[in-house]
Amino acid sequence: MDYNILIGGAAGQGMDTLASAFSQVLHKRGYQIFTLQDYMSRVRGGHNYFQIRFSDEKVKSHSEVLDGIIALNQETLDLHIGRLKPDGFAFADVEVKSDDKRLITIHAKETAKEAGNVKTMSSVTLGALIKLFNMDEAFMKEIFSEKFDVELTEQNMASFKRGQEMVESRYEIGKGNPEKTMLIQANEAIALGALASGLKFYSAYPMTPSTSIMSYLTRRAKKAKMIVEQAEDELAAINMAIGASYAGVRSMTGTSGGGFSLMTEALGLAGIAEIPLVIAVIQRPGPATGLPTRTEQSDLKFVINASQGEFGRMVIAVRNPEDAFYQTARAFNMADKYQLPVILLGDQYLSDALQTIEPFDLEKISIDRHLADPKPYEEGKVYNRYELSENGISPRLIPGIVPGTAVNIDSDEHDIIGNITEAAEVRIDMVEKRARKFDLLKQELIEPDLLGEENMDILLVGWGSTYSQLSEAVDMLNEVGKNKYGALVFGDIWPLPQKKLMEKARKAKAIINVEQNYYGQLADLIRQETGIAMTASVLRFDGRPLSASEIAKKVKEV
Amino acid sequence: MADIHDFKTFETAWCPGCGDFSILESLEGTLAELGLKPHEVLIVGGIGQAAKTPQYLNANGFAGLHGRALPPAAAAKIANHNLKVIINTGDGDSYGEGGNHFIHNIRRNVDMTHFVHNNQIYGLTKGQSSPTSDIGHVTDFTPDGVINQALNPILTAIALGAGFVARAFSGDKDHLKEMMKEAINYNGYALVDILQPCVSFNKVNTFAWYKKRVYKLTGDESYNPNDKIGAMTKALEWGDKIPLGIIYKEEKKSYTDHFEFLRESTLLEIPYDKKLIQSLIEEFVQ
């Protein structure tokens, strides 16, 4: 079984409560979920929806075809009924008009009023929905009481029960999987991964769709004994994160493209001063304000090239919630080891999607600070922050720890002590030192994941959040076509890992890049780094996510 | 025993006669007299002539970006509040390029000391007017005289709620040192706006110009630095007479005082709690 339900309405109509309670019930019952969020940049009104896809097996991404629509207003029904299966259903209250046979009228408002509180009308609808899928009220009280006080919980339960009486069960959904899963958004997974890495300081300025990283950390800050500081602007946010990192604590900032534009000078500061820094850049369509609440993969070239001058930085594209957790942990270790900025590149689609995944395993991560041993310096060894070491990595001490030893960093070109210099030979030494450690980093890159057929005729390439759709798309393509399809999806993307790509590209008859942007930025990057040119492209740039079936269809067309 | 020579080391690139020399010397003396050691002190600068101070002093140093001295300084203090964090930077860096951070770090009230080397001119970029240049000041870049109003840093800081606001003059080192000590010992954000001549580019506000106008509030029993309205009135005094000393002072909690977990140890020293992280993961699990 694999069902897909859309819950839509205007902001402020209780859709969030309904979608979140339904997702939680499914999660508690052991089903796998993928919940897509589509919302407008406004607090009231507009058209917003959730698409909840659930199954007893792994659900990787969203799907276009709907089994059900919960229309909290007329607009929702009108906009989405075209995607409803012929045997699907739609729920709506009396004010939504349609002569479509699939529409079931739920007297939510009136019933909730009768039950005691009109504000509980979404629980009437939820009761009907749960009954339709042949489930009972198990877990409901628990879910309501997490959110509401005793009285409101009772009122919601009353409305829920009345909702159950309104419809007959129609679907058989079988038993859920007894194995434990997590229900989490990628941004929460980034935040959790950062805490698991020993994050102590997070400074940021709120910006959609990155803000949920900050909000999760804020909720847990006291418990985790860490500081979350809402900075006055993104300039302060990144400079604060750099200052905290210099002082020795693991620190991080997060933003979206617009905020990252303001951070670029300080990105270079982390580069030349060799201060470890992790930055989450959660993309939305630009330029400038663009489409604030929608999705795009159009900042790849920007983050790779941001800031003046030449310095090494690492960019890891987040492909799924697992990456969001484990790669965040790796990002901290890489930043500490190579003393440079590491960017985690996500996007709105992935960051806001709520999914069930296998619980994170703390044993799979480690905290490697790569700090210099203070002992020799305590015994009188002279400390030089920018010592010209063979591999380019200089000993990093925390200031204030070793008596008599000062730790100096500088945004100017500097000598080994960290003092300003304009000497040509020192400049050459320092540029080469920084380049050596960046070359060393390239030895540790993770090659892209290969999905589908190992020996493919048609090679698809993608990066970041399209991982899940590409994974389903190659399965669809391999089921029907005579060609064999495989996909390489990049997580590590800068520096670009090339081995697997070169090997597969040589044998493939065609290479197609699949990206959420207009120009095909990964295609450009691949050509720049390897000389390999794409045969064709599948691109989407309207701010809405590509779906697996859409990719499969378009790949066949090109 | 701490010694002024602990902090002295490096050759400078300042012009002979620059006020920065006496500020640096006063700072070295102050730190030694407070019994501090170089590893216990962090000097932060932005960009400009004054911002070169971290380069010329033997202590932990953070020479950051133009206008961005305050954010990393605040964060470094939050990360390790055992460090004495001092910002030495200029009027352009503090009040121009870094104006937004000036506003919000007063609000943030991290325990750190902000010494603004205020020469009312841009030195490093060779002679443009600064946010504190007076109206009518003629420079190569404002040949008809400055038309923008000068920012009053003392009045601004008091209005924004700063708990320690003082003015000093590089030409009176003993008084300057006294102000530096008071500011460093103050728990919270402390601003000392230090008037200094720029011998190369400011031909108006010279040593003699300042010398003729400044007078000390210290010892004046009729002046009460705890009275905010009185302090704001005093802050408006500029021109023929310029007051030096603590203009306003008020005790309050600094940023890190608000966090119970920072009472016993610094953020840096708090150990990793794997059990807690596991419990945070469990919150998502069913």
Contact A537, A520 (CB under 8 A): yes
For the domain made up of B4-254, the CATH class stated in words is: alpha beta
Model pLDDT, residue B220: 87
Q: In this predicted model, what pLDDT tens digit does every residue of A123-170 receive, in sequence order? A: 999 999 999 999 999 999 999 999 999 999 999 999 999 999 999 999
The count of C-alpha atoms lying within 13 angstroms of the C-alpha of A304, restricted to the half-sphere facing its C-beta, is 18
Strand A45-55, strand A32-38: pairing: antiparallel
Query: A104 burial class (0-12, 13-18, 19+ CB within 10 angstroms)?
Result: middle
Contact A240, B71 (CB under 8 A): yes
pLDDT of residue B100 exceeding 90: yes
Q: Which residues of B touch A407 (CB under 8 A)?
A: 60-61
CB contact under 8 A, B286 and A183: yes
Model pLDDT, residue B10: 67
Q: In this predicted model, what pLDDT tens digit does every residue of A189-233 receive, in sequence order? A: 999 999 999 999 999 999 999 999 999 999 999 999 999 999 999
**Distances in whole angstroms, Cα of residue A406 to Cα of each of A248, A378, B19:** 14, 12, 26
B100 touches chain A (CB under 8 A): yes
Give chain A's domains with CATH numbers: 2-164 (3.40.920.10), 183-364 (3.40.50.970), 371-444 (no CATH), 449-557 (3.40.50.920)
Please report, rounded to a whole number, the percentage of residues in chain B having pLDDT higher than 90: 89
Whether cis (ω within 30° of 0) applies to the bond prior to A287 is: yes
As beta bridge partners, residue A283 has: A347
B166 touches chain A (CB under 8 A): no
Model pLDDT, residue A23: 95
Q: Which residues of A touch B80 (CB under 8 A)?
A: 247-249, 398-400
Backbone angles phi, psi at A122, to 5 degrees: -70, -20
Matching residue, tokens 């200029």: B90
The minimal CB distance from A201 to the residues B79, B101, B286 is found for B79
How far apart are the CA of A199 and the nearest CA of chain B, in angstroms? Answer: 9
What is the enclosing helix (H) or strand (E) of A229? strand A227-230
Matching residue, tokens 């309501």: A144
Q: Which residues of B touch A220 (CB under 8 A)?
A: 280
Interface test with B, best of A32, A217, A225, A365 (most B CBs within 10 A): A225
Q: In this predicted model, what pLDDT tens digit does every residue of A396-413 receive, in sequence order? A: 999 999 999 999 999 999
Model pLDDT, residue B1: 53
Residue in B with minimal Cα distance to A216:
B280
Give the other-Cβ count within 10 Å of B53's Cβ.
28
How far apart are the CA of A478 and the nearest CA of chain B, in angstroms? Answer: 34
Please report, rounded to a whole number, the percentage of residues in chain A having pLDDT higher than 90: 93
Q: In this predicted model, what pLDDT tens digit does every residue of B48-57 receive, in sequence order? A: 999 998 889 9
Average pLDDT over residues B85-104: 97
Q: Which residues of A touch B68 (CB under 8 A)?
A: 235-236, 239, 266
| Residues ≥6 apart with Cβ < 8 Å to A236 | A203, A205, B68, B70, B71, B100, B101, B104
Interface test with A, best of B8, B273, B280, B283 (most A CBs within 10 A): B280
B24 touches chain A (CB under 8 A): no
Q: In this predicted model, what pLDDT tens digit does every residue of A351-386 receive, in sequence order? A: 999 999 999 999 999 999 999 999 999 999 999 999
Q: Which residues of B touch A233 (CB under 8 A)?
A: 100
B134 touches chain A (CB under 8 A): no
How far apart are the CA of A224 and the nearest CA of chain B, in angstroms? Answer: 7
Residue B8's pLDDT band (cuts 50, 70, 90):
confident
Token representation of residue A300: 């790849």
B158 touches chain A (CB under 8 A): no
Quote the CA–CA distance of B236 and B248 in Å, as a whole number: 13
Token representation of residue A484: 């064999």
Token representation of residue A231: 């900075």
| Residues ≥6 apart with Cβ < 8 Å to A325 | A189, A190, A192, A193, A196, A360
Quote the CA–CA distance of A518 and A514 in Å, as a whole number: 11
pLDDT of residue A329 exceeding 70: yes
DSSP state of B92: I
B135 touches chain A (CB under 8 A): no
How far apart are the CA of B62 and the nearest CA of chain A, in angstroms? Answer: 5
Interface test with B, best of A233, A239, A308 (most B CBs within 10 A): A239
Instruction: Report the 3 state secondary structure along A284-316.
Output: CCCCCCCCCCCCCCCCHHHHHHCCCCCCCCEEE
pLDDT of residue B232 exceeding 80: yes
How far apart are the CA of A358 and the nearest CA of chain B, in angstroms? Answer: 9
- Range list of H helices, B59-206: 70-79, 91, 99-108, 153-160, 173-185
CB contact under 8 A, B281 and A405: no
- For chains A and B, count residue pairs whose Cβ atoms are closer than 8 Å: 189
How far apart are the CA of B44 and the nearest CA of chain A, in angstroms? Answer: 10
How far apart are the CA of A365 and the nearest CA of chain B, in angstroms? Answer: 11
- The Cα diameter of chain A in Å comes to 87
Residues written for chain B: 286
Residue A320's pLDDT band (cuts 50, 70, 90):
very high
pLDDT of residue A258 exceeding 80: yes
The count of C-alpha atoms lying within 13 angstroms of the C-alpha of B82, restricted to the half-sphere facing its C-beta, is 16
Where b means 16+ CB within 10 Å and e means fewer, A208-243 reads bbbbbbbebbbebbeebbbbbbebbbbbbbbbbbbb
Quote the CA–CA distance of A414 and A431 in Å, as a whole number: 10
Which of the pair, B12 or A23, is modelled with greater confidence? A23
Give the other-Cβ count within 10 Å of A555's Cβ.
24
Coil vs helix vs strand at A206: coil
B positions 236-255 inside 8 Å of A (CB): none
Residue in A with minimal Cα distance to B103:
A232
Quote the CA–CA distance of A92 and A73 in Å, as a whole number: 7
Contact A230, A258 (CB under 8 A): no
Mean pLDDT of chain B: 95
Q: Which residues of B touch A223 (CB under 8 A)?
A: 276, 280
Model pLDDT, residue B9: 67
Q: In this predicted model, what pLDDT tens digit does every residue of A418-469 receive, in sequence order? A: 999 999 999 999 999 999 999 999 999 999 999 999 999 999 999 999 999 9
Q: In this predicted model, what pLDDT tens digit does every residue of A467-479 receive, in sequence order? A: 999 999 999 999 9
CB contact under 8 A, B272 and A198: yes
Matching residue, tokens 């500490």: A336
Residue A43's pLDDT band (cuts 50, 70, 90):
confident
How far apart are the CA of B223 and the nearest CA of chain A, in angstroms? Answer: 35
Backbone angles phi, psi at A390, to 5 degrees: -65, -40
Q: Which residues of A touch B88 (CB under 8 A)?
A: none
pLDDT of residue A22 exceeding 70: yes
CB contact under 8 A, B75 and A201: yes
Q: In this predicted model, what pLDDT tens digit does every residue of B245-276 receive, in sequence order? A: 999 999 999 999 999 999 999 999 999 999 99
What is the enclosing helix (H) or strand (E) of A280? strand A277-283
Contact A309, A534 (CB under 8 A): no
ipTM score here? 0.97
Q: In this predicted model, what pLDDT tens digit does every residue of A499-508 receive, in sequence order? A: 999 999 999 9
Average pLDDT over residues A71-76: 95
Q: In this predicted model, what pLDDT tens digit does every residue of B127-174 receive, in sequence order? A: 999 999 999 999 999 999 999 999 999 999 999 999 999 999 999 999
B positions 255-274 inside 8 Å of A (CB): 259, 261, 267-268, 270, 272-274
